Structure 1
Amino acid sequence: MLSIVLMLVLLGIAAYWRANGWILALAAIIGLALGQSGVWWIGAIVVAVVAVFSCLPPARRLITDRIFGIFKKVTPAMSETEEAAINAGTVWWDGELFSGKPDFNKLLNYPDPKLTAEEQAFIDGPVEELCRMLNDWDITHTRKDLPPEAWQFIKDNGFLGMIVKKKYGGLEFSNYAHAKVVMKIGTRSGSAAVTVMVPNSLGPGELLQHYGTEAQKDFYLPRLAKGEDIPCFALTSPHAGSDAGSIPDFGVVTRGDYVDPYTGEEHKDVLGIRVSWEKRWITLAPVATVLGLAFKMYDPNGLLGDKKDIGITCALVPTNFAGVKAGRRHYPSGSVFMNGPTWGSDVFIPIDYIIGGLDYAGKGWQMLVECLTVGRCISLPANSVAAGKAASYTTGLYARIRDQFGLPIGKFEGVDEALARIGAYTYQMEASQDLALTGVDMGETPSVISALLKYHNTERYRKVINDAMDIHGGKAVVLGPRNYLAGAYQAIPVAITVEGANILTRSMMIFGQGAIRCHPYVLKEMKAAYANDAAAFDQAFSAHGHFILTNVFRSFWLGLTNGAFSSAPKGGVTATYYKQMNRIAANFALLADMSMFSLGGSLKFKEKISARLGDILSNLYICSAVLKRFEKEGAQKADEPLMQYAAEQALYDAQTAIDGVLKNLPARPLAWILRVLILPTGRRIAPPSDKLGSKVAAAMMRGDDTLARLTHGMYIPQDETESVGVLAPAHAAVIATEELEKKLRNRARKGEFAAVSPATQLQEALDTGVITQEQFDQITRARKLKRDVIMVDDFDMQLDKHDETLLSRHVF
């Protein structure tokens, strides 16, 4: 027994450091020998035989070739769309997390994203000016569109061409700058933010720059950059939403006639495609001048060659082209950005309308998946960050201004709990996006990270707005120009649904794609099976076995100590979190492998298991992004509670997901063994404490540098007549007069005032010399500003005309 224990200890130490197979065998043999058992040599022989058949390729092939035969039979076939999704993008920091032993020095050495002087000037100039032009109430309830001058300003200042290269007249901004522009506009008007972000995300501009012919680029990109053309991309059909590979829209290769809509020139008997489509939910379709169209292309008459089913193809079609229908609108929840259907029947387009020309016919799905990665890192995550910043700023100040029972409402524990969540989730959202954009601007296209970012940022958007609504109470449930939360609250379903519904993204995409794409060996094994390459399979499979064995021991040791003795790239307050991530990463690597081993191809149908595995990976990513942000911002002492809450919540959520997988893994004996290896001492990671949450809430209510860093980059009006603009002066005025107000309340409680109402008591205090004229003026101003913050709008009986005298009405 002693020999076995010593063998496991020494083997475990070697495995923890991921020693190679020969060293693992040597460690096991030494452990057996140190136990002084009379038959230790029997175990040593067994270990040596295992080592020979594991480490010597000729001997190993005797086993792996047989496994290869079985593996080829059980490996599920991969559809064309699945293969495109798996092969799309690159593996970046997500691969490190999947390794079970992430290199956090690599994380900290990634360059911090920065705005160039030109990009900062654009945000401080045109973006700021555009925000001043926007009134979200007027946009969503009166005009149901952006004002004409805002549309023209957007076109004239290059907002629609931020991603277009300068040689075509675009701004050629970094992805980081693109996100910060969208975020700032989003804090002012969601409708305007969507209008700007869509042409710079997945659509004609992005597709043209990557795949367009030179003629297509030279013609369209300058027009897109100047706003002469407004693009949209028509992908989603009524019968094929998330399952975009099943689009029913089709085009048949044929010959025909057409008139060029730009020149009026007539073309006869040219090679082209007769396309029919019905698309829904297409942003900018009602006002677009050029339509990016995805359809299935067929060549039944063999005009292009022997292949009849060409596949999904993308084409550019001017919307004034004969037969193209558009111009009707959908009514998105909480927004009025231009969104609507487009349709056409037997519309003949020339073959050179295919994006990239004939060479890219049938490659549309690959093109879309590759380009979607970058857009999903920017658009919706940036809008979510905007919602978080707006909620943090307005709720942090409001919770200090508004009082009940003689106390600011933020000092009640139920409110401070919700306020802390708002701050922490906002911190997580921006940290997660900034890290992803670091990779994108380094040339990476991290498809798995883009999926988890879209899902988790939009879900946190939902949470922060719900908490903000709860804290504001009646202030937030009455619609009107002064309600700065309702629009974001009503628009949540849009963010949750588009670019892949969140249920689908969580349950099928994050781990479903990540398990193959980011795992160090699974994709290699699958490719070997598809290529019938036994030698490649042997190398991948043997390395995979070593990976699993070392993760068994790493997971157990790290679980036993909660990572306490593992390494961290930084000391101080963040060290504990790096060590706990070492533990969770090892747990995840083992749990992912065992889930795939026990469920095989059926794992993709076990969506609840897959979703929880995705949650583990996602929260590891979020925690690492939080720590990266904290270091990037100078490890500010004042920001420690915010960082700690955000990191602890992510780690706790990861642990909860681990426990959920173990409780629901169908192979119960395996689950029991895994629980011993992964959670040997139970769930050791605690959620953020109440005390820590109160520190976060207090920092947000102070409105100092911590809140300024948390909400940096949002648009804050300087006009006190605006609902957001009045918050900062009201906050300062309320705090400045707090002791004076307390003094007046105490006198009132003691019955020292003859007057009854607060206003007449204030006048009496001035008249009797209790306060000075200056103090009277301070209190009067503070009370007015506080009332402006609290008040809600009222209208005439038809809910049509807003009462502009609201702010001046004060009857007592």
Structure 2
Amino acid sequence: MYALIATLIGIAGVWVLAYAGVSRTIWTAAITAYLLALFITGGLGALGLLIAAVLFIPAAVVLNVGKIRRQLIARPVFDLFRATLPALSATEQEALEAGDIWWEAELFRGQPNWSKLLGFQVTQFTPEEQAFLDHQVEMLCEMLDQDRIVRKDHDLPPQVWDYLKREGFFSLIIPKEYGGRAFSSLAQSTVVTKISTRSLDAAVTVMVPNSLGPGELLMKYGTQPQKDYWLPRLADGREIPCFALTGPDVGSDAGSMPDYGIVCKGERRGQEVLGIRLSFRKRYITLAPVATVLGLAFKLYDPQRLLGDEEQLGITCALIPANHPGVRIGRRHFPMGLAFMNGPIEGEDVFIPLDWIIGGQSMAGKGWRMLVECLAVGRAISLPALGAAASKLSYRMTGAYARIRQQFKLPIGEFEGVQEAMARIAGRTYLLEATRVLTASAGDLGVKPAVVSAIAKYHMTEHMRRSVNDAMDVHGGRTIIYGPRNYLGYVYQSIPVAITVEGANILTRSLIIFGQGAIRCHPYVLDEMAAVHDSDSQRGLERFDRLLSAHITYTSSRGVRAFTHALTRARLAAAPVVGPTARYYRELTRMSAALAFVADVTLGVLGGELKRKERLSARLGDVLSNLYLASAVLKYHADAGRPEQELASVQWALEFCLSAIYEAFDGFFDNFPAIGLGRVLRFVVFPLGRPYKAPSDRISARLARQMMEAGGVRDRITQHVYLGRSAADPVGRIEAAFNMLLRAERPYQRFIKALGKEAIKGYTFEEQLASCLEHGVLDREQAELVREYERLRWDVIQTDAFDPAELAPEEERKALSARREVAWARQAVE
């Protein structure tokens, strides 16, 4: 019995110490104390203690004496890494170091501090920001007609362009001292969100100057003269900016751009000056056809060594007037389903002075870091806003339509198959709005979260895609017909634009989220890489030794935590709240520990090979991403005071994320190159089998019903949807019918049910309504409500139909127009 108890105490001690992740010193002291305790209590004799000492003391000396440990343990690993680990290129180094790490690092490291997240204050709008949303943005939305913009005018109306400039829509990020509005990141996101629910063309037009573009680059890197000249002109709309990065051979791999500039001497205003001769060919440049100033990214070379000792200076960014000699600009692309200004920019032997480099000569060759840092801002604000807006609009319109539209004398929202699609829209919308608010608010702390911005860009546009698809399915033919009544068709067609821009989604998922996250968020990897490549080998070894020891402790701790949480169903994990959401905090902590352990083992086994295992990397990226999305949901719910009416939305979103995490891990373990190790990892993370399932039908049904109910969750998560001020507006039309339905639904249902009775006569609606009135099914007030609702309902379910001349081929339209003119002339003579 004594032996059993001693053994159990030993195992428990090792387990607790590993779980806590204690230092070598504490391990050594604890083992020493355990052996002495065994000796004192008689469990270990003198010979046994001697044998234990012979085995333990050398190991303790090796592990605790720095010089010995470095030579016997750290040195072989250090030399192996130094020989096999490729040095990071300057471009890769800058990309990795660009931006900041934030909450995602807590999630990656296996022990998230939930109090830190819940204590983070999301941004509150200033009175000026709120007024701008209530007035200028509302007025802008009222001026827009998306159908006319896309199908007829192929541009925003001139009065809209004037309004955008006059009211400072292009200056949301510019400081007040330069005439800008200096709005918070969340306010910028919300402005774009609301505009997007009315017109994606207008939203894109507004968001580009306020994200990746000359304004952002000038504020962060520009010289004072550059700021003083350009920022006021950008703020008041005298200048329309664009930024030219993408080219025919340059998509996600911006580092391979063939566009180049040669440092040379040239003539500027009658004088010889030092400058750059540029040749470039760019495409897909938003606002290019109307831009008056363009930011340009290119590779800079100095073959004559006019600036220093290096010939290849690297990617550089410059600001060039659009009318500068040699710049060819003005042609248009025609984006799918949209009509915003987008086109190519080209130039051959374009000479510019050196002081047109953003930041001046000292920033020559530093453009790549400038770009990747500013790109994180656009990914965190603009595209998540588009994703949330499309999902909000899908939620609001689908819920109303599903209650208005009837089949078999029932609202289609009562059918379970329809509810399944509706629930996906509802859950995703809650998820997207929570993520939008949290991610944009991070920017207001001065944080530029590179990994979080990639997560938000990829997952929010992908969830948008699925929400809109489900909304289209529920609406059926109602939203596949072009015309001014269609509030979803143009959104559906434009989805590939959001999926593609600012980093293609496929590469964002497979290369960036985990590839960058694993190095930036890990507490040791980036520093270990720096130590391995230290020019002073001895200094690098000493630093590497300290890091390696801490790294081993970290990995073992996360492995034990992951296994412990798996065996106990995360009951030992801490939750900052009590109630229905507490278990989700614990389960996310469990999956965080699992990610930390699996990621470490993977990095250790595959090393640099992981860079080429994109599908494995993508799956671990999915785990990290869904941890972040789920934590955003918990934060959003907590900030609202954890209202019970939102609980179904919270549960759906969290169970969806946890199920997605399981699926990602499952695919990862199945496809891990070392099959045996993959099975071991699966056992550590999921020893009791699959712990998470997709959201239940019960939760889905509740979400679908909430979509069809006024107020509550519906109003909160669709806040900032432009609802239209008239029933002629595509959204206003369905809102008016829905609001009337809330008043008329009971008498209307009595009317519908009465139609099956023999006593009710009539072929037309008016005849049937009169019969119901005559037989006492409805009184006069109720009949008038039914009549008014039927008028609105009938209007809502209609689709647009056009005169054949409007859709005829161009030549036929011209001939028809000529024939009409002749006919009109004859009528005038007669």
Give the TM-score normalised by the residue count of structure 2: 0.93
Amino acid at match of 2:437: D
Residue of 120, 138, 145 corresponding to 1:135? 145
> How far 1:29 sits from its partner (Å)?
6.5
> How far 1:462 sits from its partner (Å)?
0.3
Tell me whether 1:23 sits opposite 2:33 in the alignment.
no
> How far 1:245 sits from its partner (Å)?
0.3
After TM superposition, the structure 1 = structure 2 runs for residues 149-188 of structure 1, keeping only pairs within 5 Å, are: 149-188=159-198
Range that drifts further, 247-256 or 406-415: 406-415
> How far 1:81 sits from its partner (Å)?
1.7
After TM superposition, the structure 1 = structure 2 runs for residues 269-280 of structure 1, keeping only pairs within 5 Å, are: 269-280=272-283
> Over the residues paired in the alignment, what is the CA RMSD in angstroms?
1.8
Change (3 A) 1:80 1:401: same
After TM superposition, the structure 1 = structure 2 runs for residues 246-285 of structure 1, keeping only pairs within 5 Å, are: 246-258=256-268, 266-285=269-288
Q: Distance in 2 between matches of 1:203 and 1:750?
A: 67
User: Which residue number in structure 1 is paired with residue 67 of structure 2?
Assistant: 58
Q: Give the total of aligned pairs.
A: 794
Q: Retained in 1: the 8 A contact 2:723–2:735?
A: no
User: Which residue number in structure 2 is paired with residue 390 of structure 1?
Assistant: 393
Q: Retained in 2: the 8 A contact 1:175–1:437?
A: yes
Q: What do residues 494-536 of structure 1 show as CA deviations (whole Å, max 9, x unaligned)?
A: 0000100000000000000011111010001001111141111
User: Which residue number in structure 2 is paired with residue 453 of structure 1?
Assistant: 456
After TM superposition, the structure 1 = structure 2 runs for residues 516-527 of structure 1, keeping only pairs within 5 Å, are: 516-527=519-530
Q: Distance in 2 between matches of 1:37 and 1:190?
A: 77
Q: Retained in 1: the 8 A contact 2:751–2:778?
A: no
Amino acid at match of 1:57: G
Long gaps (5+) in structure 1: 259-265, 802-812
Tell me whether 1:336 sits opposite 2:343 in the alignment.
no
Tell me whether 1:642 sits opposite 2:652 in the alignment.
no
Q: What do residues 33-56 of structure 1 show as CA deviations (whole Å, max 9, x unaligned)?
A: 779578975567655554443344
User: Which residue number in structure 1 is paired with residue 518 of structure 2?
Assistant: 515
Q: Retained in 2: the 8 A contact 1:6–1:31?
A: no
Q: Distance in 2 between matches of 1:469 and 1:36?
A: 73
Q: Distance in 2 between matches of 1:47 and 1:491?
A: 67
Residue of 301, 306, 316 corresponding to 1:303? 306
Q: Retained in 2: the 8 A contact 1:281–1:339?
A: yes
After TM superposition, the structure 1 = structure 2 runs for residues 358-397 of structure 1, keeping only pairs within 5 Å, are: 358-397=361-400
Residue of 549, 566, 578 corresponding to 1:571? 578
Q: Distance in 2 between matches of 1:325 and 1:458?
A: 33
> How far 1:574 sits from its partner (Å)?
1.2
Range that drifts further, 725-734 or 419-428: 725-734
Amino acid at match of 2:128: E
Change (3 A) 1:40 1:281: farther
What percentage of residue pairs aligned between the two structures are identical? 48
Range that drifts further, 106-115 or 7-16: 7-16
Q: Distance in 2 between matches of 1:790 and 1:604?
A: 52
Q: Retained in 2: the 8 A contact 1:7–1:30?
A: no
Residue of 488, 492, 496 corresponding to 1:489? 492
Q: What do residues 285-333 of structure 1 show as CA deviations (whole Å, max 9, x unaligned)?
A: 1100001001111111111122111111100110000110011000111
User: Which residue number in structure 1 is paired with residue 85 of structure 2?
Assistant: 75
User: Which residue number in structure 2 is paired with residue 691 of structure 1?
Assistant: 698
> How far 1:754 sits from its partner (Å)?
2.8
Range that drifts further, 622-631 or 9-18: 9-18
Tell me whether 1:609 sits opposite 2:616 in the alignment.
yes
Q: Distance in 2 between matches of 1:26 and 1:416?
A: 61
> How far 1:800 sits from its partner (Å)?
4.1
Change (3 A) 1:574 1:45: farther
Tell me whether 1:118 sits opposite 2:121 in the alignment.
no
Q: What do residues 365-400 of structure 1 show as CA deviations (whole Å, max 9, x unaligned)?
A: 011111111111011111111101111111111111
Q: Distance in 2 between matches of 1:403 and 1:54?
A: 74
Q: Retained in 1: the 8 A contact 2:754–2:772?
A: no
> How far 1:233 sits from its partner (Å)?
0.4
After TM superposition, the structure 1 = structure 2 runs for residues 329-478 of structure 1, keeping only pairs within 5 Å, are: 329-478=332-481
User: Which residue number in structure 1 is paired with residue 811 of structure 2?
Assistant: none
Q: Retained in 1: the 8 A contact 2:754–2:777?
A: no
User: Which residue number in structure 1 is paired with residue 235 of structure 2?
Assistant: 225
> How far 1:100 sits from its partner (Å)?
0.5
Change (3 A) 1:625 1:44: farther
Partner of 1:280, secondary structure, is strand
Change (3 A) 1:8 1:331: farther
Q: Retained in 1: the 8 A contact 2:293–2:322?
A: yes
Q: Retained in 2: the 8 A contact 1:25–1:47?
A: no
Tell me whether 1:743 sits opposite 2:750 in the alignment.
yes
User: Which residue number in structure 1 is paired with residue 730 of structure 2?
Assistant: 723
> How far 1:256 sits from its partner (Å)?
1.1
Q: Distance in 2 between matches of 1:630 and 1:47?
A: 52
Q: Distance in 2 between matches of 1:694 and 1:371?
A: 42
Residue of 530, 544, 547 corresponding to 2:554? 547
Q: Distance in 2 between matches of 1:54 and 1:432?
A: 45
Q: Distance in 2 between matches of 1:679 and 1:31?
A: 32
Amino acid at match of 2:82: K
Q: What do residues 353-373 of structure 1 show as CA deviations (whole Å, max 9, x unaligned)?
A: 111110000001011111111
Q: Distance in 2 between matches of 1:461 and 1:50?
A: 56
Partner of 2:288, secondary structure, is coil
Partner of 2:270, secondary structure, is strand
Q: Retained in 2: the 8 A contact 1:212–1:357?
A: yes
Residue of 524, 528, 543 corresponding to 1:536? 543
Residue of 773, 779, 783 corresponding to 1:772? 779
Change (3 A) 1:587 1:48: farther
User: Which residue number in structure 2 is paired with residue 785 of structure 1?
Assistant: 792
Partner of 1:273, secondary structure, is strand
Partner of 2:327, secondary structure, is coil
Q: Distance in 2 between matches of 1:624 and 1:28?
A: 39
Q: What do residues 202-226 of structure 1 show as CA deviations (whole Å, max 9, x unaligned)?
A: 1100000011111110000000000
Q: Retained in 2: the 8 A contact 1:25–1:48?
A: no
Q: Distance in 2 between matches of 1:706 and 1:203?
A: 36
Q: What do residues 519-564 of structure 1 show as CA deviations (whole Å, max 9, x unaligned)?
A: 0100010011111411111111111000011111101001112212
